[in-house]
Structure 1
Amino acid sequence: MTTQNKANQIAALNEQIASLKEEINKANADIKVHLEKRDKLNVQFRKYREEIQALKNERDLINDVVKALKQQRDAAREKRKKMIAEIRAITDEIRALKAKKPRKSRQQLEKEIHDIEWKIQTMPLDLQEEKRLVNEVKQLEPQLRIYQKIEQQNIRITELQKEIEALEAKANTSHQELITAAQRSQELHAMIITKINEATAIKREADQLHSAYVQAKERTEPLRQALKEFIEQKRQLQNAIKKESEIQKETAEKVLKETLEAQARSKLQQGEKLSWEEFQLLADDESEDQQTED
């Protein structure tokens, strides 16, 4: 293959190399776009994941509050239930006491007992009379205690009713707080679902872009391999041209040297004066011939 043919091949290879580089650069630009979009989406996905976790943490805290409020409400209801049962039991007891209530009123009994005790304390009485009066008080006191027990039980009922009212107020407050907390928990759950759906869509798109990036990179591999082969072919051709050029140069220099030597010998034979360069040329040639003979 002539040097010109090699040069023509190098020119053709340069065109192919330039075309491949342009194609690879275009593919790299597409890859860069895919990577940038993928990385942005991955950043968004991580942000969504953090937001979802924050919402879950808030929802879990609210759910703990809801659980505590339910426990408070249930405890209040149970306590109220027991108090109502106690009121019913006391009411039955009062009803039973009223059935045993004496004909005399409480005021009458208290007055009679007071008068008798005053009489015992202030009047001179014989032993028999005092004993009679003491027995009379003993008979009246059980009747009075019925009224006192009824009064005590009524007081207890009033206390229980007040406690029940307080419990109901507290239960209502807890119930309202529970409703508010439950609504907030539902809102957060809905937000979490929405965020998860959005994050899933972002992740899906990011994965698609990553797949496109991998495919684009795989498509450039044959181009890179072809470019590498063309560059190697070009290098080999350039080396061949360089070697041929060096051989041609050496040949030309040898021919020139031989021509000059022949001219110098001709002048020497004809008795003409040699230049220093011609003399040196003949001296070098004789030295080379001597080394060859040795």
Structure 2
Amino acid sequence: MAQEKKRRSTGRRSPLAAAALIGIGLLLTGGIYAGASAAMAATADTTATTALTVDDGKKLFQANCATCHGLDLQGSQSGPSLFGVGELSVHFQVSTGRMPLQMQGPQAPQKPVQFTDEQIAAMGAYVQSMAPGPTFPSDETLDAKGDAAAGGELFRINCAMCHNVAGAGGALTEGKYAPALHGTTPLNMYAAMVTGPQNMPVFNDMNLTAEDKRDIITYLVWLQDNESPGGFSLGSLGPVSEGLFIWIFGIGSLIALTVWITAKSN
């Protein structure tokens, strides 16, 4: 009897063994399933495209833009006509979140983008098919490999009076403003020069050639990639902010030091 009890005790399994076996089985099953799914996805036909068509762009336009711009781009009392603006203007306005317009005001502010790149391209293609206008430039124009020095000179002559010499933006009249350019993409820099959004004038190739635009883009990208060499930029607002800083902190420090010395002597 003693020997029989001993054999039973040695053959007893731990309570955790079953749980361990179940866990190992689940891991193996999950690994095999994941590997099979990845293999099937890799061998599946990847030629399918998610690009939207002009008809898709028409539907998006009618659902989101036609209230102000009209079903046929003719415009209304709430929004201008889009005849001749082209897909480049659509890309600028929608990819920066300015459109659809949230509310009427002095100008459309930037806000979070509401559409994907494919949807924006589809709406632009629809507008371009209805009333052709400015289209996308060559990749060379946007490569930011032009003459930054020449671009800086052109920018100071044509743009700095509104956008500030450092591209920091500035106030205009009647609640309008020139936006800062520190986060603007090269494509939208070009689009702004060609389409003249908001209060900006249009710079066609007779005003600024394609090479001139490339140089300006190169200068602005250089500003984005290089911090102020003088330390704190103070908003890049020039002598106004610098003078205010010196008046408050410089003269304020001198007054505080004078008061401290006087109190110390007394």
Select the structure that is richer in helix.
1
Same fold (TM over 0.5): no
TM-score normalised according to structure 2 size: 0.17
Structure of greater relative contact order (alpha carbons < 8 Å, 6+ residues apart):
1
Which of structures 1 and 2 has the bigger CA Rg?
1
